[in-house]
Amino acid sequence: MAQVSLREVSKIFPGNVRAVDRVSLGVENKEFMVLVGPSGCGKSTTLRMVAGLEEISEGDIYIGNKKVNDVPAKDRDIAMVFQNYALYPHMTVFENMAFGLRLRRIHKPEIIQRVNEAADILGIRRLLDRKPKQLSGGERQRVAVGRAIVRKPMVFLFDEPLSNLDAKMRVQMRTEIHKLHLKLQTTIIYVTHDQVEAMTMGDRIAVMKDGILHQVSDPITTYDHPRNKFVAGFIGSPPMNFMRGKIAKKERRIYFEEGKIRVQLVEEMYPKLEPYAGKEVTFGIRSEDIYDKLFVSVAPPENIVRVKCEVYEPMGSEVYLYLNTGIHTFIARVGAHDRPKVNQEMDMVFDMSKVHFFDKESEEAIV
């Protein structure tokens, strides 16, 4: 069993820099956990503490049922794949993959068998005699992963392994690592700053910012129910639209108001929003939850917002419309058949059952 558990783990660098701040995270056996967040939020430091490459300042880390705070990296039964693959340039692919096993004094026939097995899984058998400089970026990446696989570790740690690859190769390797996880059935902790990678690969996503863990949940829950404004804005592309405005209560109905905008809340949200009547909140709506009224058969009049289209961005299968309310600009993702002119006034419909509200001060989600 290889669950990994971080309990109130902190990393304090000299100068009192709290790079990781009391992070508690339980990664289950065979789970694919993605650690995601903007640059400098403490992802690599967290992973390096799990690997044993960085000392833990506070808290405890368990691998399996064993506390590993004082266990050296080489005895932790984990393998790490880094962003810069760090292959030995003078060795062949075979030798690169076999190197770690040799150090562990594993018998030659078993080394050959394990390297061949890993090479088959990764589809790089024909490359075994080449040197790293004779490989493409994607192939080098596979060799780096292969070097980790042959070790048969309890836990894999990946630190931005795809960031050196071009966009197309990244998508391809993304699926390959996904498949690899299904095949190997090991616990994986995967670090990335790319929220698309996080959404598509993770069983669960752990979202970090400034050393603090903000939310741990499966991708869809993270997308549909972000716990605060940061997670809401970080996960999803284009990012969630935010507008600052007021909650208003009139004749038993509750509205969100901002300049010319006035939309009515769905009744399920009343209990949570009623206490905010007369107060400012942050309203959030995803671009796909805004429709052009022309293409909506029944548009409730209380959900219609008049805007001006500033930019029209064709994406192929859909179009991004940059819309101005007079105060805010927001983005709507609509079908490719929708072709408003620039500076054209248009009526948009908000799907009010999908909107989010955040407390202005704490930025925590209200609903």
Ligand X SMILES: Nc1ncnc2c1ncn2[C@@H]1O[C@H](COP(=O)(O)OP(=O)(O)OP(=O)(O)O)[C@@H](O)[C@H]1O
The residue ranges that bind ligand X (CB under 6 A) are 13, 17, 19, 37, 39-45, 193
**Smaller CB separation from Mg ion, 44 or 303:** 44
58 or 351: whose CB is closer to ligand X? 58
Classify strands 32-36 and 204-209 as parallel, antiparallel or unpaired.
parallel
Whole-angstrom distance, CA of residue 218 vs CA of residue 267? 27
Which residues 39-58 are close enough to bind Mg ion by CB under 5 A?
44
Closest by CA to 43, choosing from 285, 288, 209, 233, is 209
In the complex with Mg ion, the residue whose CB is nearer, 44 or 217, is 44
- Interface with Mg ion (CB under 5 A), residue total 1
Nearest to 83 by CA among 135, 43, 56, 113: 43
- Residue of minimal CB distance from Mg ion? 44
User: Is residue 10 at the binding interface for Mg ion, with CB under 5 A as the rule?
Assistant: no
Between 135 and 206, CB nearer to ligand X: 206
Quick one: 26 or 38, whose CB is closer to Mg ion? Answer: 38
Q: Which structure tokens are listed for 265?
A: 């809340």
The distance of closest approach from Cβ of residue 15 to ligand X in the complex, given in angstroms and rounded to an integer, is 7
Strand partners for 282? 244, 358
CB of 43 to ligand X, least distance (A): 4
**Distance in angstroms (rounded) separating the CA atoms of residues 350 and 353:** 9
Q: How far is the CB of 82 from ligand X (least distance, A)?
A: 11
Backbone φ, ψ for residue 362 (5° rounding) = -80, -20
How many C-beta neighbours within 10 Å does residue 301 have? Answer: 8
Residue 105 CB, shortest distance to Mg ion, in Å, is 33
Considering the complex, what minimum distance in angstroms separates the CB of residue 43 from Mg ion?
Answer: 5
The minimum distance between CB 36 and Mg ion, in angstroms, equals 11
In terms of CB distance, is 194 or 257 closer to Mg ion?
194
Residue listed under structure tokens 């050296």: 72
What's the distance, CA 23 to chain centroid? 17
Q: How far apart are the first and last CA of the chain?
A: 37
Residues 254-283 that bind Mg ion (CB under 5 A): none
Instruction: List contacts with Mg ion (CB under 5 A).
Output: 44
